Amino acid sequence: MARYTNMDILKMVEEEDVEFIRLQFVDVFGMMKNLAVTSSQIEKILAGRCNFEGTELECIHRDVHREYFLKPILDTFEIFPWRPQQGKVARLFCNVVDSENHPVETDSRYVLQKVLSEIEKEGYTFHVGPECEFFLFKTDEEGEPTTELSDQGECFDIGPVDTGENARREMVMFMEDMHFEVDSSYHSNEAGQHEIDFKYDNAVKTADNIVTFKMLVRIVARRHGYHATFMPKPDSHLAGSGMHLNLSLEKEGNNVFEDAKDENGISKEGYYFIAGILSHIEGMTLINNPLVNSYKRLGSGFRAPFSESWSAEKRDTLIRIATKGGNGARLELRSPDGAMNPYLSIALILAAGMDGIRKKKEIKETADGSKEKQLPRTLEEAIESFRKDDFIKGVLGEKICEAYITEKTKEWNEYMMNVSEWELKKYLRKL
């Protein structure tokens, strides 16, 4: 049942003195985009008549420019709590449609909605809960980020060692103002590193929340004189930042993954789901870990996963079975990082897991075993694995796959042609 109607939105815009409304969407790489419209155009907004050029969605240069329209999702209406109290700014997430009101195939949100609609026909509901890590760096006099970490704290430290606690507290307060249900927030393992976890929700809302969260964190950090980054590995000497995803599946109100009789507390369907993910994880890695830098985190020797492993005991495996803590059985996928497009990542995870259930796929590797295959070790390897997996093409569509292969190949080639500081230190004096 919808939370808001058109009349509700009109009333809130008037009563709350909302002056600007940001119509938000993401490009194929998960970068937040928006069209800012004054509240005087609210009827046009609600009618879905606000349009923009299609290249901004596809994030690739084409000769033919398509015109798209933004169809607002009313239940996503939120007022930004960090903006002025007079002349407030609100947002609406939007689906992207063409001139005939048909969904656009390169709209990441639509890709996830399509996968969800398929499982809902079978009676399933899918929930996702993220664990969001990020670093705070000091800024210079002009507000530009430096390479100096905000503090030298460790896990669960408090002030004055944790110099970012005030910023993190304000982040949490703003999140609650925007109807997030925050589970926990704390200084993470490394210097300048923080983690905020919010409660699981339906898959689309969680993806919306992730991109909102990243925007909110950056804005609040700047207010406190810091630069927040979700870069997977900003410092070679420290553990990187992940975006672990906790997954749960329900049918008729029952936890599909749960089986108290199993030694790990997980059902056959849960094992099938794991097998489905593992069978496509190599190709999915390009979406879960889309940067050159992502592969500096994976397999770095810290606790980021590097092999196609699963376990109910170890916390450093790719997939961890969690059956304790009062939330019932769930699966934790630990490879994704904050650079991912959450809509596409979650869509692939769900599609692969459900493919495992439908085909009753068996896990070939043993838990905690030593014979697991490794994840792609570089962006180049990830591109190649992505290119070979026809299942992924079927989920994402040809255009999105083309965009990733084109742009990420370009990124890899640029990286390979760049002379790094490491190379200069290693070779300049010797040769």
Q: Domain extents for the chain? A: 8-104, 115-422
Return the residue matching tokens 């901004």.
56
Helix (H) or strand (E) holding 311: strand 310-311
Of 48, 49, 54, nearest in space to 68 by CA = 54
- At what angle are helices 203-223 and 165-177 packed, to 10 degrees? 140
| Residue 330: how many other CB atoms lie within 10 Å | 24
Residue with the two structure tokens 């815009």: 13
Residue type, 152: Q
Write down the pLDDT at residue 297: 95
**Helix/strand number for the chain, H first, E second:** 13, 17
Pick among 2.40.50.140, 3.30.70.890, 3.30.590.10, 3.30.70.20: CATH of 115-422 = 3.30.590.10
CATH number assigned to the domain with residue range 8-104, chosen from the 4 options 3.30.300.30, 1.10.10.10, 3.90.190.20, 3.10.20.70: 3.10.20.70
Nearest to 349 by CA among 232, 241, 243, 223: 243
Amino acid 227: pLDDT: 97
**Rounded-to-integer distance, Cα 312 and Cα 405, Å:** 35
Q: How far apart are CA 154 and CA 8, in angstroms?
A: 46
The CA distance from 284 to 344, in Å, is: 10
Give the three-class secondary structure for 193.
Answer: strand
Angle at 175 between CA 143 and CA 92, to 5 degrees: 90
Task: State whether residue 55 is helix, strand or coil.
Answer: helix
Amino acid (1-letter code) at residue 106: T
Q: Which two tokens stand for residue 315?
A: 């916390």
Predicted pLDDT at 242: 95
**3 state DSSP class of 292:** coil
Residue 63's pLDDT is what?
41
pLDDT value at residue 370: 47
- 31: Cα separation from own chain's centroid: 10
pLDDT of residue 1: 53
- What is residue 345's DSSP assignment? H
Residue 401's SS3 state is helix
Over the chain (431 residues), the average pLDDT of each successive run of 10 is: 86 95 95 94 94 70 69 96 89 94 94 97 96 96 94 91 95 96 94 95 97 98 97 94 96 93 93 97 98 91 86 86 76 97 98 97 65 88 98 96 96 97 94 92
SS3 content of the chain, % helix, strand, coil (to 5): 35, 25, 40
Residue 425 C-alpha from the chain's centroid: 35
Distance CA 22, CA 400 (A): 25
Write down the pTM of the prediction.
Answer: 0.95
